[in-house]
Amino acid sequence: MSDPAAPRGAARRRRLGGTNWPLTILLLLATLTVLAPLYVTLSMAFKTSEQAVDGEAFALPAPFNPQSFAVAWELTRFPVSFGISLAVAAITVVLTLFLSSLAAYAIVRNWDRRLFRWSLFYLLAALFLPFPVVALPQIQLTAMTGLDNPIGVGILHAMFQLSFSVLLYTAYLRSIPIELEESARIDGATTWQIFRRIILPLLGPMNATVGIFAFLASWNDFMLPSLITADPALQTLPVVQNIFQSQFGTNYNVAFASYLMAMAPTIIVYLIAQRWVISGITQGAVKH
């Protein structure tokens, strides 16, 4: 006598253990869209100037020419511009983590109060505000307050990250049981002590997620530092690299070497913290 559950079991095993070819092909195509530009960037950076303009972007470097990195290092004043970009990113990440976590904690734990509820809606509305609308007031205000420098750029980056970061923190904080805080209050802990000793350690995965997003947004940004920073000697690395689009427009091997050096910190940061990014997003999406 045949078992009716056998076909269902076989179908389930096929679904779980078999290869999902449409999804596999889609993922392979998505991987190619990342790896192909990365290969072109690497190969162009090690080519000579003559080979870089011969129209064969996928050809291997022949001869192998690492001299482009030395030229890019000198033209972009790499240590100075790299240090300025790093300082701006550090200001952005620290301010974003501190302000967003505090704001989200206050909103979530006072959600029954209208002021805090509407505060979240107000912050979310800023997500839909186009940057060109606020660009001119920002330039005028930073010039009036003496913040037309990398410090002002870092502060503005943090303000722009505030809406999205508070949204992530609020979703994550709702998954933390309120009983933990009630027990601490019975023992006499204040709100600040509860946040610093209980909530902040539990926010580790989300801190990594928000920090990564804030770092990438600050490190790769061209528009804001180019508009805000008045002194050309204090420009960030992406703005300094703009010289390859004008004066050195045909020197592609040097330009790609510079882009590769600028890209290295973002790859390192992501490789170190990517597991916390994934766990932070998934834990914030699950309601316990």
Residue 57, helix vs strand vs coil = coil
Question: Which residues touch 69 (CB under 8 Å, ≥6 apart)?
Answer: 45, 257, 260, 261
pLDDT tens digit string along 164-199?
Answer: 999 999 988 888 888 888 888 888 888 889 988 888
Residue 229, helix vs strand vs coil = coil
pLDDT tens digit string along 17-54?
Answer: 577 888 999 999 999 998 998 898 888 889 888 888 77
Residue 234, helix vs strand vs coil = helix
- DSSP symbols for 161-214: HHHHHHHHHHHHHTTS-THHHHHHHHTT--HHHHIIIIIHHHTHHHHHHHHHHH
Angle 252-285/67-75 helices, nearest 10 degrees?
80
B/e letters for 191-215, b = 16+ CB within 10 Å, e = fewer, are: eeebbeebbeebbebbbbbbbbbbb
**Whole-angstrom distance, CA of residue 157 vs CA of residue 245:** 25
What is the length of the chain?
288
Kind and range of the H or E run holding 79: helix 78-109
pTM score of the predicted model: 0.80
> 272 φ, ψ to 5°?
-70, -40
CB 225 within 8 A of CB 212: no
pLDDT tens digit string along 68-120?
Answer: 899 889 888 899 999 999 999 999 999 999 999 999 999 999 999 999 999 99
